[in-house]
Chain A
Amino acid sequence: MASWTSRTLSLVSWLYVVVIAGLGLYAATLASSDLLTILVAVTALVVASMVGVAASSSGNRFTTGLAVAAAVPMALGPSDRVDLGGSIAVYGIGLAIVWAVRYSRGEGHVDLLPTLVRRFAGYVVYATAYSALRVGPFTELTGEWKDLFPFGAALAAWIGVEVVLRAVLVVGKRELSRGYLARSLLHDLNVFLGLAMTGALFGELWPAIGWWALPIALLPYSFAHLAFKRFQQTKVTYKQTIRVLARIPEVSGLGADGHADRTTELATAIGKEIGLGPVQVEDVEYAGLMHDIGRVSLNEPQILRMGYSDDDIARWSSEIIAESPYLSRVATHVRHQYEPYRKPGEQTDPDVSVVSRIIKVAAAYDWQVHQDGLSPLQALENLHAGAAYKYDPEIVASLRRLLVSRGVLTPVRV
């Protein structure tokens, strides 16, 4: 079943590549720029897309090709109008080549089709809007600032198309809600904007100072890129460190082995399923990893003699987490993880965040399955029994959907 889907998908993707390349070639016949210019632009686009990858935090992938793409309508054609045919030709042909190469390398298998559609549609909207606005309403405006309006409006349209299509065209990954996908793209807007602005910078400077425009556009971009990369690297290392620290109580026999890792995996999946944004999903991740980190205090003989409660562990965990300024929110989420999701007589407890509620459900499920040896169905039923006071029913429902889609749980039909 799965292989059938992916085979159909890859066939359709190839068809799309051919269609997009064909559209590009057709557009080339409408182009006013000469063939050499178009070929140079296509080469630049392909090279930039293959060389400069600016991956972003929540899994969206952007390349420097985006910057070249943004520059193309500005740099092609005479100064008073835009060579729309040429611009679309460059992008269509370039995109087809890039994806053919990528596909032959075995990258982006399932995601290929929706990404292709999204990219091409977004770009066509951008180039069309830019060219229409350049000769349209803004010609009345005078001064050097007028160039900004067509670019700004066209860029906004491009982003709009990308976000909408990102949410609408979901293939495969049923665990991710549309809300999460759209929000993750908005979350990565800084990368998108940075790339587009670099392109625009080049496009604006090119007519006046020629190739000097290249270093001037590239330098700020590479600075931004370096800063971003350093941030990403630090983040990866930091997460590794946190994971390892979380395992210290586990390997010391003070907690259940693998509990933190499994809870985190389940909790982030729930977070994405109910449509939290990437920022909150990241909070869920940190909170999941560290929710039981306070167990490291448990080899204190005095504590063992006096006894301790779940709430004590939550307190110790959150005290350790609070040492990191970046994680102050997470410390609060972890502090409240053992509290019921609502107060008696009230609908909810505003102090208990959605992150705390997710951790509570995921941790309880994992504990029952892996420590108490219950079956997934039994564990889920226990959570359902506690829903409406201890566990948030919406999150338990999301957990059930997740377990069903993973095939862990077969619903009993009566």
Chain B
Amino acid sequence: MRGWFARLRPTVQRRLRIAVPYALMGLAALAVSLYLSGPPDWGYWLPFAVLFVLLEFFAVEVNDRMLQSSSVMVAMTAGVILAMRPGSDAMFGMALMGALALFTPADFKEKRWFQPLANFGQIVTAGAVSGFILDVNLDGVAQSTDSLVLVLVVSAVAALAYTTVQNVLVRRAVKTVFGRDNLEPWSQMPALFTGQVTMGILGGLIGAAFLIADREAIIVFIVGVYAIGHLSLYAFAQLRDSHLGSIRGFVKTLEAKDMYTRGHTERVALFAQMIGEELKFTGTQLETVRWSALIHDLGKLAVPTELIRKRGRLDDEEYAEMKAHARLVEEILAEVDFLRPMVEIASNHHSNFDGSGYGGSGHVGGRSPRVEVCIIAVADAFDAMTSARSYRMALSQQYAISELRRNSGAQFDPEVVDAFERALAKTGRRWGAPHVNDEEMARRLAEEPELTLRG
């Protein structure tokens, strides 16, 4: 029975493990809501369903794989109207609305099957749960301004339930399927949450006002104002990507100079983020660490290539020249308000935990640098050891870790090294060459490539 499942690729297995239960859960939620509640007033249901599907379809990606749309507002408006009107219920109507909104444009473009299934389960369940709350509390409530306080409270609870169900299910799906290292930090989570709940409350109030005022025209204004906000949000998301993209463009140019450092920056950013998450960084702090990692080598753009690529150690004069060039770039980057904290962290990534070493602005000799600086230092050193250089092969992860540990307390922050070790163990991925366990060997192998490893 399990034979065919085991033969599937692991990524497909992981996807099935989410998609099948989610889809079943969605179907169950539909069935339960059909059993518990009567049908909605279809005349009111239809326009909101159309609006809901449209908003879900054009949701904005505010965070990696986390979509935001103002659809929760429409859902709550429809829910409150359906619950308050006599002879009409909200639960099934809201669940059914969700069932129609399972596709996004990307699903069609990339022919995905997993996302729509998972989305189906997630939206239908969230709709059914919040519809249930609305039905229980608002059925038969008088359509007058006296009920508005009750509507406000109930729609806050329903919106909270809606958002919580959605977030729990989406995070679970993303973590299971994509693993940790494919995720950008979920930095905007608290803001996202408050935003969604506020929109839910507003949606509920609009629904009630719509019934009380008995004016359909107000919907046009609401939708208009929202559409404008949505467009701005969309432009914002696009611009944010571009910001990263521009820095990445430069990083690529930098790394194109030297085949040995290709991909270095992205890897350091990944390691730094893993450490940050392990140290329970969130929000801006995590984002700062990531950006610092992305720009930590930009200073080298101004350094003549011969110096960067030189085999062996630089003499004092060359070393001073390199530092001066790098310093120049850091000074200009620090002119951008947004980048200043990151530049300060990045420019110090050669200073040591015990206060020795050289550093840029904000470095005080003899004092431990900030923990963010230590994170970049560890991530940078680890990647330097586990990737190949012109004069040696890549070293093994085991060797790199033991080297980090040996120097922790002096060069590296012991807490950061511990956190990194734990984070690496969690991913289960191995970096570097598997068996190269000392530098001597790595050097010899690089000089005589035909000497391959045989146990």
Contacts and interface: CB of A to CB of B under 8 A. Distances in A.
B451 interface: no
A324 B245 CA distance: 4
A160 to B, nearest CB: 19
A220 B202 contact: yes
A238 B148 contact: no
Contacts of B248: 323
A190 B71 CA distance: 20
Contact of A248 (B145, B217, B230, B332): B332
B394 to A, nearest CB: 25
A323 B235 contact: no
Interface stretch (A37-45, A143-151, A382-390): A143-151
A156 interface: no
B329 interface: yes
B250 interface: yes
B49 to A, nearest CB: 20
Contact of A193 (B217, B224, B333, B337): B224
B239 interface: yes
Interface stretch (A177-185, A207-215, A335-343, A357-365): A207-215
A224 B241 CA distance: 20
B302 A252 contact: yes
Interface stretch (B163-171, B208-216, B271-279): B208-216
Given A216-B209, A247-B332, A300-B257, A321 B217 contact: no
Interface stretch (A1-9, A58-66, A198-206, A264-272): A198-206
B431 to A, nearest CB: 25
A252 B328 contact: yes
A375 interface: no
A194 interface: yes
B26 to A, nearest CB: 29
Nearest to B195: A223
A53 interface: no
Given A190-B231, A201-B218, A208-B212, A216 B202 contact: yes
A361 B329 CA distance: 29
Contacts of A240: 335-338
Interface size of A as a range: 35 or more
B205 interface: yes
Contacts of A101: none
Interface string B216-236: 111011101110111111011
Interface in A149-198: 190-191, 193-194, 197-198
Given A208-B212, A251-B302, A301-B306, A193 B228 contact: yes
Given A210-B145, A220-B226, A197 B221 contact: yes
What secondary structure prevails in chain B residues at the interface with A? helix
B209 A209 contact: yes
Contacts of A301: 304-306
A194 to B, nearest CB: 4
B298 to A, nearest CB: 8
Interface string B193-212: 00100110010011001001
B16 interface: no
A147 B253 contact: no
What secondary structure prevails in chain A residues at the interface with B? helix
Among B221, B226, B328: residue with most chain A CB under 10 A? B221
B238 interface: yes
Interface in A303-360: 316, 319-327
Contacts of A201: 218, 221-222, 225
Contact of B336 (A209, A231, A241): A241
B336 A237 contact: yes
Contacts of B253: 296-297, 316, 320
Interface string B305-343: 110000000000000000001001100110111110000
A245 interface: yes
Contacts of B252: 320, 323
Contacts of B220: 148
Contact of A325 (B148, B245, B257): B245
Contact of A227 (B229, B241, B246, B256): B229
Given A240-B337, A325-B245, A145 B232 contact: no
User: Which 7 pairs between the two chains have the least Cβ-Cβ distance?
Assistant: A224-B229, A208-B213, A323-B249, A326-B242, A324-B245, A252-B302, A324-B242
Interface of A: 143-145, 147-148, 190-191, 193-194, 197-198, 200-201, 204-205, 207-210, 212-213, 215-216, 219-221, 223-228, 230-231, 234-235, 237-238, 240-242, 244-245, 247-248, 251-252, 296-297, 299-301, 316, 319-327
7 contacts: A215-B202, A215-B205, A235-B239, A240-B337, A245-B246, A299-B302, A325-B242
